[in-house]
């Protein structure tokens, strides 16, 4: 191959890999739980989690990761807000037994909102925002 063909091949490869990295970052966010919170029927301890989702919507598959361990996977409805969320935040509903159940995840710096599907039927519960 000529030097120019090799250069074009290398530049093309770099563009493909960099665009894949940008797409992966586009579907990530953070979640910080102040208290133990029920997610997909499981109690998650307070602390920081990475939120990742796959799919193009309106229904996506969300994965919560703590460290390198996947702690929950669940479906969610993705929506776009008119303006970007200022911070990472979430909303939760208080269950009759007093426990807190995650209902919505707001991704900081993006217009993205992830509404947990398991909670759409239970929208009558009281909501509390945590930012």
Section 63-87 average pLDDT: 95
In angstroms, rounded to a whole number, what is the distance separating the alpha carbons of residues 70 and 126?
Answer: 28
Q: Among all chains, which residue has been given the structure tokens 């009759």?
A: 96
Contact of 91 with 125, CB cutoff 8 Å:
no
Q: Let me know if residue 51 belongs to a domain.
A: yes
Q: Among all chains, which residue has been given the structure tokens 């989690």?
A: 49
What contacts 100, CB < 8 A, 6 or more positions away?
Answer: 35, 36, 37, 38, 92, 93, 94, 128
In angstroms, rounded to a whole number, what is the distance separating the alpha carbons of residues 51 and 27?
Answer: 8
Closest CA to 23 of 49, 69, 55: 55
Displacement of CA 38 from its chain's centroid (Å):
16
pLDDT of 131 strictly over 80? no
Q: Let me know if residue 8 belongs to a domain.
A: no
Q: Let me know if residue 1 belongs to a domain.
A: no
Q: Let me know if residue 18 belongs to a domain.
A: no
- Counted residue by residue, the chain has a size of 131
Q: Let me know if residue 38 belongs to a domain.
A: yes
pLDDT of 120 strictly over 60? no
Q: Let me know if residue 37 belongs to a domain.
A: yes
pLDDT of 71 strictly over 50? yes
Pick 3 or 97 by higher pLDDT. 97
pTM across the whole model: 0.72
Q: Let me know if residue 5 belongs to a domain.
A: no
pLDDT of 8 strictly over 90? no
Number of domains observed in the structure of the chain: 1
Q: Let me know if residue 119 belongs to a domain.
A: yes
Give pLDDT tens digits for 12-68.
Answer: 555 444 444 444 568 999 999 999 999 989 999 999 999 999 998 799 999 999 999
pLDDT of 119 strictly over 50? no
Q: Which domain holds residue 83?
A: 28-130
Pick 79 or 6 by higher pLDDT. 79
């Amino acid at each position: 191959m000529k030097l120019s063909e090799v250069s074009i091949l290398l530049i093309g490869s770099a563009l493909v890999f960099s665009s894949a990295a940008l797409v992966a970052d586009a579907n990530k966010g953070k979640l910080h739980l102040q208290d133990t919170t029920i997610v997909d029927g499981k109690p998650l301890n307070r602390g920081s989690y990475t939120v990742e989702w796959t799919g193009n919507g309106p229904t996506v598959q969300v994965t919560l990761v703590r460290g390198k361990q996947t702690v929950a996977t669940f479906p969610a409805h993705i929506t776009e807000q008119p303006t970007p969320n200022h911070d990472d935040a979430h909303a939760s509903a208080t269950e009759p037994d007093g426990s807190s159940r995650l209902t919505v995840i707001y991704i900081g710096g993006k217009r993205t909102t992830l509404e947990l599907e398991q909670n759409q039927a239970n929208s009558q519960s009281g909501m509390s925002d945590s930012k």
